[in-house]
Amino acid sequence: MSRVSRVSRAARTAAGLLAVAGLAAAVALYVDRFCPRPVWHHTFDLRVYRGAVRWWLDGRPLYDFVRPGSIKGFTYPPFAALVLLPLALGTETTATVLLSTVSAVLVVLVTWWLVAPVAARRGWSRGWTVALAVPLVFALEPVRETFGWGQVDLVILALVLADVGALRRGRPWAGAGIGLATAIKVTPGLFVLYLVLTRRWRAALVAAGTFLGASLLALAVDPSASLRYWTHLLWQTDRVGAPAGTNDQSLRGLLARLAHGEAPTALWLLLAAAVLVAGLWRAVRLQRRGDDLAGVTVTGLTACLVSPISWSHHLVWVVPAVVVLADAGTWLAAAGALVVAAVFGGSVIWLAAGATVHDGSALAQLAENSYVLLVLALVLTLPARPLPDGAAAPSAGRTTAPPRPAGSSPR
């Protein structure tokens, strides 16, 4: 390599580092100074997890725990307590650092997994593209809120996306991530139905078996907690929080705000059923057109809509949605990606918190409900990307990796 080439390469590297550092600094400044939603919530949810698990380790009923000074207790299935056990054994600082580190690593890995193939297809540098994308992913409210509350949504996202990759490669363990995610948080169970509807029978059985195995393990460890949760507490959605609050961006939350306090049950069930059918129908069509990531993303967004409660940190599925839109290859989809990123990055709902219940202007009500409306729009319109040969998802009946075309080489 000539001296001129070395100097040119060093200059490009320096410019790239400067761009990444500048973008990261801009995001940090925005989040710290200008964002209407503060990023730090003193990892309150993590403290609830820790308190409940430590209470349980002392021999007391897991679901009797209520964090002092609040009304919050443990709301996840019993298997989640086993998963969260390491966070309860050390100090609170150690738990915060551990969960934040795991979440940060997952942001980088998920961003790489989503963005690197897009960069490669367009001839961009994968490393620099991912490095620039990571601060932008962190700027989205669902990701920021996961860190601020000490939540596990990035773990759920990573487990499901791991199955997307496993399905693409025909791995025999595909479905295990969805099964574990469902055993931890219930709502990912919709992905099992997605596997069934797309006729990935083995993956669906693996997911169901993993969920059942994890749940039976929790049953063996604490039978009373499991019986109490699955027969009674699972249906008590009011234990999670009030649906009329701005933070609940589910369909039920939207209806509750419009009704000034409580969503009409019949209307909510009817609307949720319609969205569920439409969302799964679109997810299956996207998968059959070769874009499994788009199908899984629509399934995840549908789960957020039909769930009785969906806090803004549950909406991490907007991350792959933005990538799918940006990669769709049309100006309209690119504009959609910018709108979604701007609304979620700008924490728009908090600019008009309480507006719907308190008879705010139509514009303020639109802002307060913008997340649920955008998620609904994504479920109904997210496109399938024009992927090159070999990048599409395996066909419904395929259970092993497809053979490479003659003359091809590993990449």
**Mean pLDDT across 291-299:** 98
DSSP conformation class of 248? B
pLDDT for 399 beyond 80: no
Per residue, the 3-state secondary structure of 33-99, as one string, reads HHCCCCCCCCCHHHHHHHHHHHHHHCCCCHHHCCCCCCCCCCCCCHHHHHHCHHHHHCCHHHHHHHH
pLDDT at 345: 97
The mean predicted confidence, pLDDT, of the chain is 92
Confidence band of 303 (pLDDT split at 50, 70, 90): very high
At residue 301, the pLDDT reads 98
How many alpha carbons fall within 13 Å on the CB side of residue 254?
22
Within 290-361, residue ranges assigned H as helices are 292-306, 318-326, 331-345
- Which of the 8 DSSP states describes residue 124? -
Residue 160 near residue 177 (C-beta atoms within 8 A): yes
Cα maximum dimension of the chain:
73
Q: What is the mean pLDDT of residues 78-88?
A: 96
- Nearest-angstrom CA–CA distance, 179 and 283: 19
Q: What DSSP line would sit under 195-231, residue for residue?
A: HHHTT-HHHHHHHHHHHHHHHHHHHHH-HHHHHHHHH
> Has residue 320 got a pLDDT over 70?
yes
- ∠ at Cα 236 (176, 58), nearest 5°? 70
CA distance 279 to 299: 6
Q: Which two tokens stand for residue 135?
A: 């601060």
Spatial distance between the Cα atoms of 51 and 107, rounded to a whole number of angstroms: 26
Token representation of residue 148:
């601020």
Average pLDDT over residues 319-327: 98
- Average pLDDT of the residues in 393-409: 41
The pLDDT of residue 9: 79
Residue 192 and residue 205: Cα distance in Å, rounded?
8
Does residue 311 sit in helix, strand or coil?
strand
| pLDDT above 80: residue 406 | no
- Can you give the pLDDT at residue 404? 41
- Report pLDDT for 7: 67
pLDDT of residue 135: 97
More confident residue, 279 or 395: 279
What are the φ and ψ backbone dihedral angles of 202, each rounded to 5 degrees?
A: -65, -45
Question: Cα-Cα-Cα-Cα dihedral of 187, 189, 195, 197, to 10°?
Answer: -80
How confident is residue 389, by pLDDT bands cut at 50, 70 and 90? low
Q: Minimal CA–CA distance to 150: which of 9, 48, 286, 28?
A: 48
Q: Residue 410 above 70 pLDDT?
A: no
pLDDT at 367 exceeding the cut of 90:
yes
Q: Is the confidence at residue 224, as pLDDT, over 60?
A: yes
To the question of pTM greater than 0.85 for the whole model, the response is yes
Q: Give residues with Cβ within 8 angstroms of 408, minimum separation 6.
A: none
> Which pLDDT score is estimated for 394?
44
